[in-house]
Amino acid sequence: MYGINEASTLSFISSFHPITSLPPDLMHDVLEGVMPKLASCLLHSMMSSRLCTSSQICQMINKFTYGNNDKRNRPFALKEKDISEKNIR
């Protein structure tokens, strides 16, 4: 196991193994696993409760004004079908 410039000092510990000893990447798991599912359920619930329609949700998301730092990370446009089928990625 290597660090940036040389072998990691962790590799000299006999009981250390990079697969079993390193903690999981929680933000990666949350942002790619839990958040899309949560967003799908939340938006679908808003539609089911008749708080707004899928077209209104899509319009609000697509009209959102992003700051200078966020313009290049703009999410894909949502389709009404994706919201109604809880299929947001």
Q: Bigger pLDDT: 1 or 10?
A: 10
pLDDT at 57 > cutoff 60: yes
Q: pLDDT at position 1, please?
A: 55
- 84's CB contacts (< 8 A; 6+ apart) are 44, 47, 54
Using the predicted structure, report yes or no on whether residue 62 has a pLDDT greater than 80: yes
What are the tens digits of pLDDT across the range 3-56?
Answer: 577 777 888 888 888 778 878 788 888 888 888 889 889 988 998 999 999 889
Give me 75's structure tokens: 């999410």
Burial class (CB in 10 A: 0-12, 13-18, 19+), 83: buried
Task: Tell me how far apart the terminal alpha carbons of the chain are, to the nearest angstrom.
Answer: 33
Q: What are phi and psi of 4, to 5 degrees?
A: -70, -45
pTM of the model: 0.58
What does the domain layout of the chain look like in residue ranges? 24-84
